[in-house]
A and B are shown apart, each in its own frame.
Chain A
Amino acid sequence: MIASVLPMNDQEKLRRFESEMLPFMNDAYNLARWLVQNDQDAHDMVQEAYLRAFRFFSGMREATSRAWLLRIVRNVCYDHLRKRQVPSVSSDSQQEDLPDTNPSPEAALQTKSEIAAVRSALANLPEDFRTVLVLREMEELSYREISEITQVPIGTVMSRLARGRQHLADALKEMRAKGLL
């Protein structure tokens, strides 16, 4: 009975937190999945990230909520990877062996094999490059936001993106030469 008034504040806080942060759940999952490279772990990472975010949630509306959440996701994933000492290679890099009939890189990815090949190439990039590419190309974040999430200077973000793209372009070129893409 003492607590009968106060829990409403918690419920209110939870309601506000969820309405502000849950819209970014798919983005959070995508990032986590690209970082830890495993479905089950990625779900756990997102759940843990939301718990941490809730504990620090002030109830204030911030323009940077999405970047803030992604930063927490990234930190949770790094803690997890450090603990498990998982080498950052893909666990689902199985490659299809059918040559493609439409190899133009300009076209959107048409077939399952193409998607698998690009996934594999991205998954096999060093982790630093993969993170900035996912944040920039898939989540379309600015250099400043990526810098905040990855906790490195903007200049480093810029050079990682440039090198990451070059590595990826080279890897895709090699796959294309082998007839995988």
Chain B
Amino acid sequence: MTCSESQKRVDPFLDNEVELATAQEMQRHLEECSACESLVADRLALRHCLQTPELRFVPTADLRSRIHAQLQKEIRPPSARFNWLQRLQFPNWILPTLAGAAAVLIFWFGSATYLSQVRSSSGTHNTLSEQLVSNHLRSLVGDHLFDVASSDQHTVKPWFAGKLNFPPPVFDFSDQGFKLIGGRLDYVGDQEVAAVVFQHKKHYINLFVWPRNQSSPLVDAILQKEGFNLYGWDANGLTMWAVTDAEPEALKTFVELEKQRMTE
């Protein structure tokens, strides 16, 4: 290796960015050439100098909290109203027709004051019943109600088999006025759950099912939340929650049908 080749390679050599064979050639050359050896020594001295910790600049102690505060602001935009609309993650086409969707909501729930309740309680509570009502409500907007649309339990049940590691009970009670219309996957917290969807007259029932993971038994009674009726119970190692805007009596009947069928 000549001196000019060696000088050209001294930087990548010291940066460990040359092939092994080149490094070995460099070593041999440096043993013989004092001029190149002194260039390497200068470079190493310079590196030593630049790696002095005091040369680094250190941020002020509050930079971390400044970053955190800004990122928090990023995920919580100042306008609360816009905030929850964005979070719904509607497909793009639905936003221009939001007014229409709102009208449908009001029609379904028969209460013009409902939206303001939704807004005022946004983000402040996170209980299980509120999550369930939230899931139920979201399922009614757009085409979120089911991933598999079928009134045939032998279609809906196998659909879940490929998606979940537990088999949710899927029955059809059309004869009793609770028609199976489909199923979908949903989340409660970070638990993946089955949602089996029924129709009763003009009302929908979401039956959320997941493997039982609480020690205390569920209340086994009607709960009312934000104008919806909920019923939670345990059966065969599963936690079941039915959520609907149908009358409490209808919900009770539905739950009785489910319980009866599951013990058969």
Contact = CB atoms under 8 A, between A and B. Distances in A.
B56 to A, nearest CB: 5
Nearest to A141: B15
Contacts of A14: 71-72, 75
Interface residues of B, number: 58
Contact of B11 (A29, A108, A161, A172): A161
Nearest to B7: A162
Contact of A51 (B63, B71, B121, B125): B71
Given A2-B88, A6-B89, A46-B63, A133 B50 contact: yes
Contact of B59 (A3, A8, A43, A105): A43
A interface: dominant SS: helix
Contacts of B56: 26, 30, 138
B201 interface: no
B97 interface: no
B68 A25 contact: no
A6 B60 CA distance: 34
Interface string B197-209: 0000000000000
Interface string B78-115: 00000110011100000000000000000000000000
A4 B55 contact: no
A70 B45 CA distance: 26
Nearest to A48: B70
Contacts of B42: 105, 169
Nearest to B53: A108
Given A47-B67, A143-B12, A4 B52 contact: no
Contacts of A62: none
Interface string A1-40: 1111111101101100110001001100110011000010
B87 A137 contact: no
A77 to B, nearest CB: 13
Contact of A7 (B55, B66, B68, B87): B87
A118 interface: yes
A106 B47 CA distance: 9
Given A18-B68, A108-B52, A143 B15 contact: yes
A47 B70 contact: yes
Interface string A57-84: 0000000000000000000000000000
Contact of B135 (A5, A47, A115): A5
Given A2-B137, A25-B63, A118 B55 contact: yes
A134 B214 CA distance: 55
Contacts of A5: 126, 131, 134-135, 187-189
Contact of A54 (B17, B52, B58, B71): B71
Which one of B46, B72, B122, B130 has the highest number of Cβ atoms from chain A below 10 Å of its Cβ? B46
Contacts of B226: 1
Contacts of A55: 74
Given A7-B123, A14-B72, A30-B56, A47 B50 contact: no
Contacts of B138: 2
Interface string B222-236: 000010000000000
Contacts of B45: 105-106
B39 to A, nearest CB: 9
A7 B131 CA distance: 12
Contacts of A119: 55
Contacts of B55: 109, 115, 118-119, 122, 138
Interface in B23-63: 42-43, 45-52, 54-60, 63
Interface of B: 8, 10-12, 15, 17, 42-43, 45-52, 54-60, 63-64, 66-68, 70-72, 74-76, 83-84, 87-89, 117-118, 121-123, 125-126, 130-131, 133-135, 137-138, 187-190, 226
8 contacts: A2-B137, A5-B131, A6-B87, A17-B71, A18-B71, A26-B56, A109-B52, A137-B47
Which 9 residue pairs of A and B lie closest in terms of their CB atoms, listed nearest first?
A33-B57, A137-B50, A29-B59, A3-B84, A10-B75, A105-B45, A162-B11, A109-B52, A6-B87
